[in-house]
């Protein structure tokens, strides 16, 4: 195997003493075992909700991170991610259908901001406004989680905190 890669630029950029400490801390924290969250009903709070980009192609993607409150999986996270651009591979699943699925999910949060799509910039602002409302009113959700389902998180009830 021919290895002509010059690692010196990276070696010089790293504070080796600090990196050793960071590596030890990472090793210690890696021992903390977070069991996989099984399908079931959970009470959650939304911790992050935004339009971000996919790692693979940089296309817009809706993402929502929710933290479980209480029970055996307290403080673990559930995720809902939906690519909202580049879905035109078939008539069964298009960008419009992907965006509508997110709008329907957001509508279940029952916020004052009505989820709607005019364009991607506006939709990003809409999602951020809805997230801001969730935080402002301390919304707690009762959800059904099924990691194998196409729509992994179903909102059953929404409560103000």
Element (H, E) at 67: strand 60-68
Contact 132, 54 (CB under 8 A): no
Question: Does 6 have pLDDT greater than 80?
Answer: no
Mean pLDDT in residue range 9-28:
78
- pLDDT band at residue 24 using 50, 70 and 90 as cut-offs: confident
- pLDDT reported for residue 96: 93
| pTM of the predicted structure, to 2 decimals | 0.77
- pLDDT reported for residue 7: 72
- pLDDT reported for residue 91: 80
Q: Beta-carbon neighbour count of residue 75 at 10 Å? A: 9
pLDDT, the chain, mean = 89
Question: Does 121 have pLDDT greater than 70?
Answer: yes
- pLDDT reported for residue 45: 98
Element (H, E) at 104: helix 95-107
Nearest to 65, CA basis, from 53, 41, 81:
81
Residue whose structure tokens are 């996270």 = 77
Asked which of 27-31, 51-55, 67-71, 84-88 is least confident by mean pLDDT, the reply is 27-31
Rounded to whole angstroms, the Cα distance separating 86 from 102 reads 15
- pLDDT reported for residue 47: 97
- pLDDT reported for residue 77: 95
- pLDDT band at residue 69 using 50, 70 and 90 as cut-offs: very high
């Amino acid at each position: 195997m021919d290895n002509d890669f010059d690692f010196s630029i990276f070696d010089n950029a790293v504070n080796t003493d600090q990196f050793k400490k960071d590596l030890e801390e990472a090793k210690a924290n890696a021992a903390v075992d977070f069991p996989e969250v099984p399908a079931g009903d959970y009470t959650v709070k939304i911790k992050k909700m935004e339009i971000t980009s996919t790692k693979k192609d940089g296309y817009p993607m809706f993402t929502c991170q929710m933290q479980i409150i209480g029970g055996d999986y307290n403080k673990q996270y559930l995720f809902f991610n939906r690519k909202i651009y580049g879905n035109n591979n078939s008539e069964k699943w298009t960008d419009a259908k992907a965006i509508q699925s997110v709008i329907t999910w957001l509508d279940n949060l029952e916020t004052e901001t009505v989820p709607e799509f005019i364009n991607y910039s506006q939709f990003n602002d809409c999602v951020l406004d809805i997230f801001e409302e969730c935080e402002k009113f301390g919304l707690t959700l009762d959800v059904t989680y099924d990691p194998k389902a196409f729509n992994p998180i179903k909102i059953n009830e929404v409560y103000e905190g």
